[in-house]
Amino acid sequence: MVRQRNIINSLSPYIPGKPIDEVQREQGIDRVIKMASNENPLGNSPLASKAVEEWAKNMAQYPDGNSTRLKENLSRALGVESDQLLLGSGTDQILEYIAETYINPEDNSIMGHPSFPRYETVVKVMDGEVIRIPLTANHCLDLNAFLANINHRTKVIWICNPNNPTGTIITDSEQRAFLNKVPKDVLVVLDEAYYEYASGGDYPESIKYLNDYPNLLILRTFSKVYGLAGLRIGYAISNRDTIGYINRVRGPFNTNTAAQIAAIASLGDEAFVRRSIKTNIEGREYLYAAFKNLGLKFIPTYANFLMVKVNLPSDKVFRSLLKKGVIIRSGDIFGMDDWIRVTIGTMEENKFFIHALNEVIHER
């Protein structure tokens, strides 16, 4: 056997949400709904499907390695220059690129806990030190504790906004005050995977800060509101120097043609995005009311998922719901042992879930 690097012994593989067909097979049931991976329950824009079908007639050529057309479209939509953008095979891939570009073995990196688990892995893979900051009593990222933990070895700070799994946000004024205090040689990554759901009100419009804070990088994705999770496409927005450095580690054809053209088509379908956000709001309000009816505490959310306290071991609830054809996320993987995380679905899915949950919590 070839000996693996030491750090590999401390890593565990990412546990993805269970696929529907696997649950159908395992449980021997036909009706299975997935409310586990924060996907869009409405699917994706028909314009994206049409573009991919057309392209699929001839797949022989390599993709445009620079994603030129997609960058042009994004640049217009966001009001930034094309060279301020970098595309990735999902934002997941960009997380890796960021760590590869910035983390040396002597560096540390600060993140919330629980927060998106991949931050921790990408830092560790580069032999960097992970500093986990527990959430506040209100389940929010504790920015004061982030600041208190910055030292001369700190290189990258990960702000998940809204935070996955809690759905809570950092407000515009909190973010500005934080950015003012972070040293300019520390990269602040604002992971806005759920931006479209959270946008409005107190939620920051971070792009306007790019000029004043050269140490800022924003991440967004086509996996969530645009419903393209299966194609893998996300992007980073920053200043051209930062993007230029990260571009040096990027593979030549890291995003595929289907993903690029589907993303372009999706940007042109604002009606689909509006419908998706409306479905999410209606679903969220329905679930809030249903949880109140069941006497269950929940964390109000700014995203397309939410956490509810089931007052039973979360893994048991996960397995019981699975038997009834509902896939959710068990809170124990986030260190929240009697909570579950559920993705907001269509109204029909939400009702199916609540019916199943009601049975599960009264089965004891």
Ligand X SMILES: Cc1ncc(COP(=O)(O)O)c(C=O)c1O
Write out the residues near ligand X by the rule CB under 6 A: 38, 90-92, 116, 160, 164, 191, 193, 221, 223, 229, 234
Which C-beta is closer to ligand X: that of 90 or that of 320? 90
Task: Considering the complex, state which of residue 19 and residue 313 has its C-beta at the smaller distance from ligand X.
Answer: 19
Min CB(314)–ligand X separation in Å: 18
Closest listed residue to residue 256, CA positions, set 60, 106, 77: 60
Q: What is the DSSP pairing of strand 216-221 with strand 234-237?
A: antiparallel
| CA 16 to the chain's CA centroid | 13
The CB-of-93 to ligand X minimum distance in angstroms stands at: 7
Q: How far is the CB of 305 from ligand X (least distance, A)?
A: 8
Q: How far is the CB of 115 from ligand X (least distance, A)?
A: 8
**Positive or negative torsion for Cα 187, 193, 194, 199:** positive
Task: Identify which of residues 90 and 128 has a Cβ nearer to ligand X in the complex.
Answer: 90
Tell me how many helices (H) and strands (E) the chain has: 13, 12
Q: Please state, in angstroms and rounded to a whole number, the distance separating the CA atoms of residues 292 and 275.
A: 26
* Cα distance between residue 153 and residue 116, in whole Å: 22
Q: Is 99 in contact with 287 (CB distance < 8 Å)?
A: no
**Minimum CB distance to ligand X, residue 229 (Å):** 5
Tokens linked to 255: 């995003």
Closest CA to 162 of 130, 194, 206: 194
* Shortest Cβ 112–ligand X spacing (Å): 11
Residue 4 contacts residue 125 (beta carbons within 8 Å): no
Q: Any idea what DSSP says for residue 163? A: P
Q: Which is nearer to ligand X, 250 or 324 (CB)?
A: 250
Q: Which is nearer to ligand X, 124 or 341 (CB)?
A: 341
Whose Cβ is closer to ligand X: residue 117's or residue 313's? Answer: 117
Tell me the residue nearest to ligand X as measured from the CB: 90
